[in-house]
Amino acid sequence: MSEDINNLDMEYWRDDIENIKADSVHGSIFLSNQALDIVEEFVRRQLYRNRTELIQALSKLSNALVRAKPLMALIFNRTRHILDYIQNIPKEEKNIDVIRDATLAEITTLREASEKNIKVLTRWGCRLIMDHHVILTHSASSVVEAILLEARKQKKRFRLICTESRPLNEGAKMAHRLAEAGVKVRLIPDADIARAVDDCHFVLTGTDRFTETSYINKTGTHAIASLAHQMNKPVYVAGETSKVLLKRTYPVRFAQSEAHELYPDKVDNLQVENVYFEEIPIKYTDKIILEDGVFELKEFMDRYL
């Protein structure tokens, strides 16, 4: 690796990645878009002299982004996509300006395709909502929010139950936004999920990642899915196909979040565990909503896993 690659100027992005790592409020689409912006800015700055230096520096940036949010499949798949694209540019092409421009164009294409996929997925998800349905959701998925807003736009008469989603209460914030948009919302504490599952027609959640046997979502989703399974209430999970990331490709790693969010003081013999995300067995899922359509669980597993 050249001396320039080791220069601290090449890693100006460290603070931006720390901001992504510290962000516990926004979802995977928002943060993966931020990650893609960081990659795009790095390519645009052209602190590298040739393809080899670009790949080496971008690999380091990609690894740092993935470590910042190891559960977010979108960040892993998007950054790997860009690296693969650069590596597949014909070897005969030596002009780094041409490589840079082609890479920037591919990033734009990737971003546009993602936006299109979300719009299509939203329309598919909206089809599952009928008049007088009561829907339960947990945490604050931007895809779920988009589906519900589209259903409201289509003047479907449904009601929503939102958990507050402690410790950061992102579910309460989404409930506020949807209520302002005209959706009839009931906000409940996380501990009230048994009553909520009993009252709802189905559960609708997003996900950060699909694996061979599970999906990743906010802690508490596993309990909701288990209750829904026992009460014969369907569970629908919405997420793009680019959120499929098998464990054999990249392992699932959970991290502790800030202890003070649960309890402000340090006390002897008191261990505070604050884990935001968990694996939910995919067997508890009835339908998967993708940009390719709405799939029964077996069909989804056969086709994508």
Name the nearest CA neighbour of 277 among 147, 167, 142. Answer: 167
C-alpha 166/C-alpha 168 separation (Å) is: 5
DSSP state of 11: G
Q: Single out the residue in 66, 85, 119 at which a domain terminates.
A: 119
Q: Same domain, yes or no, for 91 and 202? A: no
Q: Is there a single domain that holds both residue 91 and residue 183?
A: no
115 plus 167 within the same structural domain: no
Residue type, 187: L
Same domain, 41 and 20: yes
For residue 143, the domain's CATH number is 3.40.50.10470
pLDDT of residue 9: 78
Q: Are residues 16 and 65 in the same domain?
A: yes
Range of the domain at 291: 127-304
Q: What is the pLDDT along the chain (305 residues), one digit of tens a residue?
A: 444 445 557 899 999 999 999 998 889 999 999 999 999 999 999 999 999 999 999 999 999 999 999 999 999 999 999 999 999 999 999 999 999 999 999 999 999 999 999 999 999 999 999 999 999 999 999 999 999 999 999 999 999 999 999 999 999 999 999 999 999 999 999 999 999 999 999 999 999 999 999 999 999 999 999 999 999 999 999 999 999 999 999 999 998 999 999 999 999 999 999 999 999 999 999 999 999 999 999 999 999 99
CATH number (domain holding residue 38)? 1.20.120
List the beta bridge partners of residue 296.
Answer: 287
Can you give the pLDDT at residue 192?
Answer: 98
Task: Return the pLDDT at 4.
Answer: 46
pLDDT, residue 10, reads 82
Structure tokens at 280: 């939910």
Residue after which a domain boundary falls, among 119, 149, 176: 119
* Amino acid 24: pLDDT: 86
pLDDT at 243: 98
- The residue from 67, 91, 119 where one domain ends is 119
Please, are residues 147 and 125 in contact by the beta-carbon 8 Å criterion? yes
Other C-beta atoms within 10 Å of 63: how many? 12
CB 204 within 8 A of CB 137: yes
Of 10, 18, 13, 14, the closest CA to residue 57 belongs to 10
- Element holding 160 (H helix, E strand): strand 159-163
Same domain, yes or no, for 14 and 85? Answer: yes
What pLDDT score was predicted for residue 102? 98
52 Cβ neighbours under 8 A, 6+ residues apart: none
* Statement to judge: residues 183 and 245 lie in one domain: yes
